[in-house]
Amino acid sequence: MKEFIIDGSRFADWDGFLTEVNRELITPDVGHWDGNLDAFHDYLNLVELESERYRLIWRRSEESRRCIGLFDLIVQLIRDEAKVELALD
């Protein structure tokens, strides 16, 4: 299973989170996520493995919880996506 890593130590606010997601999860040929939550759902499905399940590891997720106001909503959107296995670290 392919793995992608979001590292909470690499950002301290929403804009940093957007940068991290774009760098680690969204390939440039697919697009650039600007923070729209409907688009985030779409991007979860457009990861390079369109038909395969993948694991998204969110390291230092508790740090992210403290600095991202929408943390719980983002986590729920990821968990609602059947092809994504989320691991909070």
Query: Does 47 map to a domain?
Result: yes
pLDDT of 51 reads 64
Rounded to two decimals, the pTM is: 0.88
Number of domains in the chain: 1
- pLDDT over 90 percentage in the chain: 71
- pLDDT band of residue 41 (cuts 50, 70, 90) is confident
Q: Which domain holds residue 74?
A: 35-89
Query: Does 58 map to a domain?
Result: yes
DSSP string, 13-62: SHHHHHHHHHHHTS-TTT----S-HHHHHHHHHHSS-TTS-EEEEEETHH
Query: Does 2 map to a domain?
Result: no
**Residue 33 above 80 pLDDT?**
yes
Q: What are the tens digits of pLDDT across the range 49-76?
A: 566 889 999 999 999 999 999 999 999 9
Query: Does 29 map to a domain?
Result: no
Backbone angles phi, psi at 36, to 5 degrees: -70, 125
Query: Does 72 map to a domain?
Result: yes
